[in-house]
Amino acid sequence: MFIFELLKAILLGVVEGITEWLPISSTGHMILVEEFINLDASEAFMEMFRVVIQLGAILAVILLYFNKLNPFSPSKTKQEKKDTMSIWFKVVVGVIPAGILGFLFDDWMNDHLYNYLTVALMLIIYGVMFILIENRNKGQESKITTFKDLTYKTALLIGLFQVLSLIPGTSRSGATILGAIILGSSRYVAAEYSFFLSIPIMFGASALKLVKFGFDFTGTEIGILLTGMIVAFAVSLIAIKFLMGYIKNNDFRAFGWYRIVLGILVIGYFILT
């Protein structure tokens, strides 16, 4: 039976690794997948697992962008180190809104918003938004093409968009990328800034969930959690590279249509069942 639980954790890790970075909602997909694949674990463990598994995905960002995010690299000039610190300051500014509201309303959202209807509606609403925004911006040049162009005011505004991702089905990367594009950012900077914002947010969210769950794990629970995180890490490496390559020549409308179709299918499935 333990082997079957590990296989389930592997599948959930694959889902997390793909959906954490594509703007299609990782938490939403995890909730939906759990309708068909249930781990033999308590609801308290699953509530913690859905968040802490994302640490594996975050480690992929740290690995891929370690040099860019490392202000102490001996290979960087004094100006480059200063620019790197500037990125981190903008990340801190951007995570403040979601960090505060996430801490205050975490329990309420778990009790009231973690359901298929919320996920489906958010999938559809933000899918439509992606299509509309991309159609509006077609042919327009972005004002923010590097992190030097990203002001602290804009970083904070993007952080306010990230607050929307606290609602399951919205997508943390989707909300921040959409907000950044609306505010004039290029898709490339929007995606990278979204990745960087995820580092403190997900470490903080994971710490909060671990404290609430406690550290009294069974051997099976440790195996399931570590397996999911390791798989999420490996798959995230592929997903991030895919997304950054994809947006060099494509916009986000395909993800918008995917969200709409999936949201409609989810509503139809739950109505029929």
At 150, list the tokens: 């990203």
pLDDT tens, the chain, 273 aa long: 789 999 999 999 999 999 989 999 887 787 788 888 888 888 889 889 988 998 999 999 999 999 999 999 999 999 999 999 999 999 999 999 988 888 788 778 777 787 888 889 999 999 999 999 999 988 788 999 999 999 999 999 999 998 888 888 888 889 999 999 999 999 999 999 999 999 998 898 888 889 888 888 888 899 999 999 999 999 999 999 999 999 988 999 999 999 999 999 888 888 887
Bridge partners for 185 per DSSP:
144
pLDDT at residue 165 in the model = 85
pLDDT at residue 31 in the model = 75
Residue in 106, 118, 87, 61 with CA at minimum distance from that of residue 236? 61
pLDDT at residue 108 in the model = 81
pLDDT at residue 41 in the model = 86
pLDDT at residue 61 in the model = 95
pLDDT at residue 109 in the model = 78
